Structure 1
Amino acid sequence: MRVRRLTGSLTCLVLLTVTATACGLGGGGSDDGDATAGGCKVDKANVGSGALSGDVEGDITFQTTNLKKDFGDYFNGVIAAFEKQHPDAKVKWIDDPGDATFTQRLVADAQGCTLPDVVNINVNTAIALTKNGYLLNLDKKAPDAGKPFTEAMWKSSTYAQADGTEVHSVLPWYSGGIVQTFNTELMTKAGLDPAKPATTVLGLFDDAEKIAKASDGKYFAFLANPQLRIPADWQQMDIKILSADGKKFTFADDPKTARWVEGMTRLYKAGAMPRDSLSSTQDPANVFGQDKLVYGPTNPNFLRFIQQNNPTVYKKTGVAPFTLDALGHTVGAPQYIGVATTSKQAATALAFARFLTNAENQLAWAKDPNVVIFPSTTASLDDPFFQSVKGSDPFAEARKIVASDRKTATADEIALTPGELNAIVAQIQLAMQGKKSAQDALDEAQSKANELIEQGS
C-alpha cells in the first residue's frame, strides 16, 4: 500500500477537524434517512455501500482554481454542453484565486458543510478532504469511474480515509509534463551526442563532468542549487525518502543518496555549475536563454518561454525523455476533480465531474494554444494531436514525448514542505563546499527534517 504523508500545514488542518470527524465518516443513519460525513448531515446515498444513482437534475456549484480569467470560453462551453444533455440540471461556475490559503479555506467550507458540489483541487487538498470524509468514495459510488484514465494514474490517485484505508476520492484531471531539454550546440562542443542524452541521473552527472572539462567556464551543465533537483532526482533513483508509514525521513539510510551528494560535490568542484549559483534563486530558464547552460528546465512550458523570448536558442534546443533511472517511470501531481459528500444533488455532481474529465473534454482543453497541459485519459493521449509530430519543432516533439510518458506516470510525487526542503538543502550545500562529508551532511539533514515532521511544520 502506498503511504502518503501530510505536509505540516495539513497536519494542523486535520487536527482542527478531529471534533468534526468524531461524528463519523458515513454509514451512521438516522430515522429521517440522513447520515453523517465529516460531521455534516448528508444523504445516506452519498456514503456507505452501493453505487450512486438518481436523476441528473437540480442545481450544482462547480469550483475551479484560478481558471476563469483565461479559459472562460472553454468552461462555459463544457457547462452548456452538459446542460444541453441534461436540461433539468444547472451548473453554477465559481472560481477560487488559488492562493496560499486555498486548502485552509476549502477545509473550512467543508467543516461548515458548504463545500461546492464539484471542486477542482490539488493533492494537498485532496489529502485533507478525503481524510475527513468530505469527498465521495468513488470505489463505492462509481465503481467504473476509473475506466477512461491511464492505468498508472488511476491506480496511484488514492488517498487515505481516517481509518487509513486508501480510496479513490477524486478523478484525475490535467497535469504538466517532464522532459529533458538541452542546448544541442553546446552539447556538441562538449563532445556529447545530442541524439544520445543521458538516461539516468548519475549518467547525466557523468556527462556534466565532461562539459566542465570542455567548457573552460564559458558555459555550464546546470545550476548548482540542490533545491532545483530535490526530490525529483532522488525519486528517479528510487531512493527511499520516507519510511513505509510516511512518518519519518529515511533518505540518509540509502547509500544511493550519498553517491548523489558526492556527484554534486564533484561537479561543483570541477566547474560544471556556476560558482555563484549554489544558494542563488536565479531562474535556470533565463540562464539557458543566455546560451550559458547545456541543460534547461524540465517543464515543457519552458519551451514556450524560450521560443518567445530567445528564438535563436530555441532553434538549437533538443528534447528527450526524462531520466527514468531506477524508478522506471515519472511522477507528478495532477489537478483533480472531487465530488462533495455534502452535495444535495450528488448524482448530478458526479455526472458533471465525469463529463468534465472525459476524454473528449480533456483533449479539447489540451488543444488550447494558451495552455500547456496534458490529459489523464488514455484516449486523449492517443489522439493525433499528441502522437503525430511533423518536423523538428522542440515543443511539438516534447508534446509527443510527454503524451507517451503520461501513460506510465504516477501521482506518487513526494511533496516536501518549504522548511523540510530548506533544512535538507542547507546541509547538502555544506557538503558541496567541502565543509562536510556527504554522509555527515545527509545524517544532519535527515535529523533536522524529522524534527520538523515531529513539530508539524
Structure 2
Amino acid sequence: MPTSRRTFAALAVSALLLPLSACGSGDDGGGPGDASGKIEGDITFQTWNLRANFKDYFDGVIADFEKKHPGTRVKWVDQPAEGYADKISADAAGGTLPDVVNVSPDLVAPLAKAGLALDLDKAAAKYKKEYLAGAWASHQIPGMTGTYAFPWYLNTGPLFYNKSLFKKAGLDPEQPPKTYDDLFADALELAKKSDGKVATLANVPTIEDFGRYGVELMNKQGTAFTFNDAKGIQLLAKYKELYDAKALDPQALTATPESSGKKFLTEAVAMNPGSALDLGNFKKQAPSLYRNIGITDQITSTGHVNMYVMGVMVNSRTKHTAASVAFAHWVTDAEHQMSFAKKVAIFPSTAGSLDDPYFTKEDGTDETRVRVAAAKSLKNAVNYTPVLFSEQMKTALRNEVAKALQGKESAKAALDNAVKACNTLLQQQG
C-alpha cells in the first residue's frame, strides 16, 4: 500500500542487545508485572507519528481515562516515523523506555527477548477474548510463550487495476486475475500486446509475497527460515520470467511503494496494491485512471490476505503495572478502536467490530466498496511478515532476489543464499 499508514508496519528494529532495565517511579500495590493492583500513578504513553493529525483524539482518550481513574496521570509523547526503531532501541538500552509504547510486531520482538515487554497472557488474559484471534497472535514471538502487546489497528488493501490497459491487451476488464497462474498469464499477455511498454507489476517479491504464495517461511520452532523450499523457488522463477518479458517493471529492483504508486498513476503499470486512501488521490491526480479503476482482492494461494498490525506494549519494568495495562487496554478496546477507525482508513482489531454497519454496508461509492471488502478479508487475515524478520533480513532477501532477476544466480541459489544470510542474522539476535 503506497500510503503513510503502511510505513508504520514497514519499519523494523535491528538485532538488539538490551539490558533488563527500564524507567518508572513509585510503585503499584502488586509490584512490577502484577496488573491486579490499584489503578493509579503517573505513566508515559508513546505513539508513533500520530500527534500531527490526531492530537484532539488522543487528548480526549487520555482525559476520559484520567477521569475514570482518579489518581492516574498520563503523559503523552509522540515520536516521528523517521528513526522510531532507533529511538526505542536507545530508550531500552538507556533504561528510559516509556510505560506504554506503540509498537509493531517486529519492534516488540527484541524487547520481549530482553524481558522488557509484559506478557499479556499472564497479566491481561481476561482481555484476550475481546480481540480477533489473528490479531492477538500477531505479537507472539516464535520460540517464546506469551503475547507481548495488545493488538491495535489493522490495515490491508485490495489490488487496483487499470481496466483500460486490460482492454487494450484483449483481456476482459471485468475479469481480473484471481489466482497466481491467472496473474502471471495476464501479465505476460499485457507485456506482449504493448511491446513491453506496460508492466503489470512494479515490485519484486517480498517476504509477504512468499507467504501469500503458500511458502513456509520459518520452521515451527522459529529457529530457522525456510522460504527456499520448492514453492519459494517456483515463485521467484516466475518473477524472473516476468522480468525478462518486461511484465515486471524494469525499475522494480529499486522501487519503493511511492515510486510504484506513481507508475500506476501514469498508467505505466497495470496493477498495484493500495487502500481506500488511494482512491481520493486517483480522483484528484489522475481522473482518466480513476474512471477506469478496477478493484479486486489480494491474490493468495492460502485464502488468507496479508494484514499489517500495530500494537500497544506495556513495559514490564514499569512501576505502575495496573495503570499501564489498564491504559493500554483502554486505548485498544472496541469503543476507542471504532472511533479511531472512523477518523482514518484503518480497521479495528477487536472481535465483532468488523460486523458494524460501517464496515458491512455499501453506499455505492468506491470508498465504501474498498472498506467493506477489506473489513471482510481481515476477519481471517494473516500478518505474513515473520515477527523475527528484521530490516537487515529484508535487505538480504531483496539483494538476492535482484541477482536472480538479473540472471546472476538461479532462483534456487538466490533463495539458498538469502535463507543462509537471514539465519545467520537470526542467530545473532540470540
Q: 5+ residue gaps in structure 1?
A: 1-6, 22-36
Letter in 1 for 2:134: A
1:255 aligns with 2:204: no
Alignment of 1:272-421 (within 5 A): 272-279=247-254, 283-325=259-301, 327-368=302-343, 371-393=344-366, 395-414=367-386, 416-421=389-394
Equivalent residues of 2:208, 2:384 under 8 A apart: no
Alignment of 1:15-164 (within 5 A): 16-17=18-19, 20=20, 45-46=30-31, 52-100=35-83, 102-110=84-92, 112-159=94-141, 164=143
CA deviation string 1:56-101 (max 9, x = no partner): 333222221221121101101111222232233322212122432x
- Could you tell me how far 1:451 is from its partner in structure 2? 4.8
Secondary structure of residue in 1 paired with 2:76: strand
TM-score by length of 2: 0.86
The change in CA–CA distance for 1:122 and 1:421 in structure 2 (over 3 A counts) is: closer
Q: Which residue of 2 aligns with 1:437?
A: 410
- Could you tell me how far 1:110 is from its partner in structure 2? 4.1
The separation in 2 between residues aligned to 1:379 and 1:293, in whole angstroms, is: 37
Letter in 2 for 1:147: K
The change in CA–CA distance for 1:386 and 1:108 in structure 2 (over 3 A counts) is: same
Secondary structure of residue in 2 paired with 1:378: coil
- Could you tell me how far 1:450 is from its partner in structure 2? 4.3
1:219 aligns with 2:202: no
1:170 aligns with 2:145: no
State the superposition RMSD in angstroms: 3.1
Equivalent residues of 2:188, 2:245 under 8 A apart: yes
Q: Radius of gyration: which is bigger? A: 1
The separation in 1 between residues aligned to 2:110 and 2:428, in whole angstroms, is: 18
Q: 5+ residue gaps in structure 2?
A: 1-10
- Could you tell me how far 1:421 is from its partner in structure 2? 3.5
Secondary structure of residue in 1 paired with 2:273: coil
The change in CA–CA distance for 1:452 and 1:344 in structure 2 (over 3 A counts) is: closer
Q: Which residue of 2 aligns with 1:196?
A: 175
Identity of aligned residues (%): 35
1:236 aligns with 2:212: yes
The separation in 1 between residues aligned to 2:156 and 2:342, in whole angstroms, is: 15
* Length, aligned pairs only: 418
- Could you tell me how far 1:8 is from its partner in structure 2? 9.8
The separation in 2 between residues aligned to 1:206 and 1:277, in whole angstroms, is: 19
Equivalent residues of 1:148, 1:378 under 8 A apart: yes
The change in CA–CA distance for 1:219 and 1:116 in structure 2 (over 3 A counts) is: same
The change in CA–CA distance for 1:71 and 1:418 in structure 2 (over 3 A counts) is: same
Equivalent residues of 1:121, 1:336 under 8 A apart: yes
The change in CA–CA distance for 1:117 and 1:438 in structure 2 (over 3 A counts) is: closer
Letter in 2 for 1:81: D
The separation in 2 between residues aligned to 1:425 and 1:439, in whole angstroms, is: 14
TM-score by length of 1: 0.81
Equivalent residues of 1:183, 1:316 under 8 A apart: yes
Q: Which residue of 2 aligns with 1:266?
A: 241
